[in-house]
Amino acid sequence: MRFTCALPAPDLCFFVLFSRDDVIFQSGNILINRGDIDDILTNQYFSDNHVDSFAFLLSEKIRIMPKEFQKYLYISPLYRVTNMIIKCSYNTTPDFVRESKLIVQPICFQSHWVLIVGKLKEKVWKLYDSLPNPEHKAICTEVIKQIHEDKAGVFPSDITTWKLQTVRGIPTQSNEYDCGIFVCKYMERAILKKKTDWASLKEWQKYMPKFRAELGYALCLTTKM
Amino acid sequence: MASTSSEQNKKPNEAKSLSLKVKGQDEVEVFYRAKPTTQLSKLMNAYSNRHYFPVAFFFDGHQIRDEDTPESLKMKDGDEIVALIHQTGG
């Protein structure tokens, strides 16, 4: 008599247990499913979900170590396409703005991520771009104008008159798919109280797969199953 | 007569379908009727089939999951769902 294996074939087993649509993490406008985790680990492009979830994890980190970070106002990249109020990330009560020192806004434009950081005290915008290009600067002024028109009176001065400076000497990407994670890591550095020595981080490109893995792991840890 | 009319009134109450508005990024509005207990994945699939890009749906600032129903999200008649194309870049 022959014995037959009770388990289905391995690939079938995998198919049954895991679906790309399984929800790993949800908070506010963010929805990360298993497919998104795969995208992080397999060098795919980043979506607004990824960048927002990184910002969420960052805010959790700040709650644990508030002394090392500056207070900031995070505006979700979805804000550019809709003026919908995104509850978890867009807090523009005047009190909150008065307390914060930075405005952080990642922008996705023509399949490229850039980050602008507004310094409320110095009245200047800093542009972090991992593929420096004057075109990316033009879209930033448009976004700033949009925020200004929508939220007039929230900020202490006219944010459209602030100077927009490109940050020089930052590590840049050498491939065509890493700009999302670069923007996330710029964000992490930009809100630190301590000034970042960008020159010592020239080798960042090499570590991007590690940073991607860290993000995927951190997201998996948040799952409540 | 009275009994039949009360029955007729009762029936629509049990499965009163809601009219939901889906507003796209281009401000185009599409209307759907859904029962409170129907999974919203049905509505989302119907909308997605008309677009080439993967669309994300938001209600009240929250992204809608496949298994959500109008009842679980406390939707009312005439509520608006926002449909956005995901921003991706690399």
One-letter-per-residue 3-state SS of chain B: CHHHHHHHHHHHHHCCCEEEEEECCCCCEEEEEECCCCCHHHHHHHHHCCCCCCEEEEECCEECCCCCCCCCCCCCCCCEEEEEECCEEC
- Is pLDDT above 60 for B87? yes
CB spacing of A109 vs B89 below 8 angstroms? yes
Q: Which of A44, A48, A85 comes nearest B87 by C-beta?
A: A48
- Percentages of chain A per state (helix, strand, coil), in multiples of 5: 45, 20, 40
Q: Which of A23, A29, A85 comes nearest B65 by C-beta?
A: A23
Q: Which residues of B touch A (CB under 8 A)?
A: 25, 56, 58, 60-63, 65-66, 82, 84-90
Structure tokens at A52: 């927002």
Residues A8-19: tens digit of each pLDDT: 555 554 555 677
Q: Which of A28, A29, A112 comes nearest B89 by C-beta?
A: A112
Cβ A223 vs Cβ A24: under 8 Å: yes
- Closest by CA position to A70, among listed A28, A122, A30, A26: A122
The Cα-based distances of A25 to A17, A62, A223, A225 in angstroms read 18, 19, 6, 10
The Cα-based distances of A110 to A51, A80, A165, A208, B89 in angstroms read 16, 13, 21, 22, 7
What's the pLDDT score for residue A12?
53
Residues from chain B that touch A29, judged by Cβ atoms under 8 A, are 58, 61-63
Cβ A130 vs Cβ A189: under 8 Å: no
Q: What is the mean pLDDT of residues A81-107?
A: 67
Task: Pick A6 or A20 by higher pLDDT.
Answer: A20
Mean pLDDT score across all residues of chain B:
80
As to burial, measured by CB atoms within 10 angstroms (0-12 exposed, 13-18 middle, 19+ buried), residue A177 is middle
- Closest by CA position to A169, among listed A212, A126, A207, A135: A126
CB spacing of A44 vs B90 below 8 angstroms? yes
- Is pLDDT above 50 for A87? no
Q: What is the mean pLDDT of residues A44-58?
A: 89
Mean pLDDT score across all residues of chain A:
81
Distance from CA of A107 to the nearest CA of B (A): 9
H/E segment holding residue A126: strand A124-129
Q: What is the mean pLDDT of residues A31-39?
A: 88
- Among residues of chain A, what percentage have pLDDT more than 90? 12
- Among residues of chain B, what percentage have pLDDT more than 70? 83
Residues A139-194: tens digit of each pLDDT: 888 888 888 887 766 777 888 888 888 888 888 888 888 888 999 999 999 988 88
What's the pLDDT score for residue A86?
45
Confidence of residue B8 (pLDDT cuts 50, 70, 90): very low
